[in-house]
Amino acid sequence: MATILFGKPIQEKMKERLVERVKALSFAASLAIIQIGNLSDSNTYVRQKKLLGEKIGVSVVHHALPKEVKIEEIKMLIQSLNNDKSVHGVILQLPLPPSLDSSELLDTISPRKDADALTSYHVKRLLEGNKKTLLPATARGVLALLDAYNISVSGKRVVVVGRSALVGKPIALALLNRDATVTICHSKTTNLDDITKTADIVIVAIGKPRFFTRNFFREGQVVVDVGINEAPGSKLEEEIGGRMLVGDVYFEEVKGVVSAISPTPGGVGPMTVASLFENLLDLIEANQA
């Protein structure tokens, strides 16, 4: 029987620690989320961040802008949040509408308030192998999940499937900085199932519901499923916030093959939200020092 890498109980422990850190501050911590447009995925993620913020005592201020908003207007909002001493973190909910240049906007965020660690400043540090740098929340969440279950990555062969700048690449770099031997796969990779089988740990983030069937795995592997997908009409669905969600892995099938596997929902997702707030508190504490 595979060990199920549940994120929820770990998130509970992270929340307790976050509450202590928030209480220790002499001011009210605040995170600003800028959302452009009205994607249902983004609405769900923003809602989860607001909920967790409320639970740990961080005020989360949601700036919802229409998808037609001009880039200059968004930059002005970011700059005003950068200059606002009562705001400690600023995040841009991704993806943005295709007409907007996400790197240009991300780089308008002050690195001192970059709670998602996606500005060039933090990305460069990650690339350089700086082990103390802030990690993008999903990468931090994946590492925290592995740590919580005492799964060491040092010296292990890890295959990451997905190479987005938001998810796949930061996870791969974070693992490399922890001395894993990392292979990155993507949509043009051939013989993907042969490559995933070579790994000790397989981390998938492609956004395709139940793409990874048992044929991609072998006994003894650890599987971390980052994917969160809507899959209406399936028996395995679980409802979260009114939406039916499944991972990139065919969980029910693969759990019979491997030695450990994270579920979706309830695996990496809760870790990611808590990791965002850990980043925020890290920034606040570093800026105070």
**Binding residue positions:** 162-164, 228
Catalytic residue status for 49: yes
Catalytic residue status for 70: no
81 or 145, CB closer to ligand NAP?
Answer: 145
Question: At closest approach, how far in Å is the CB of 287 from ligand NAP?
Answer: 25
Q: How far is CA 19 from the centre of its chain?
A: 20
Question: At closest approach, how far in Å is the CB of 149 from ligand NAP?
Answer: 16
248 or 282, CB closer to ligand NAP?
Answer: 248
Cα 20 to Cα 285: distance, rounded to the nearest angstrom? 13
Question: At closest approach, how far in Å is the CB of 94 from ligand NAP?
Answer: 7
Question: At closest approach, how far in Å is the CB of 225 from ligand NAP?
Answer: 8
CA-CA-CA-CA dihedral for 277, 201, 229, 263, to nearest 10:
-80
Catalytic residue status for 101: no
CA angle 238, 219, 196 (to 5 degrees): 80
Strands (DSSP E) found in 14-128 = 30-36, 59-65, 89-92
CA angle 44, 279, 118 (to 5 degrees): 75
57 or 95, CB closer to ligand NAP?
Answer: 95
Residues at the contact surface with ligand NAP, assessed by CB under 6 A: 138, 141, 161-164, 166-168, 185-189, 192, 205-208, 226-229, 268-269, 272
CA angle 190, 196, 197 (to 5 degrees): 115
48 or 79, CB closer to ligand NAP?
Answer: 48
As annotated, the binding site for NADP(+) includes 162-164, 228
- Active-site position among 11, 107, 113, 116: 116
**Helices 8-23/137-148 angle, 10° precision:** 110
Contact call for residues 255 and 222 (beta carbons, < 8 A): no
Catalytic residue set: 49, 93, 116
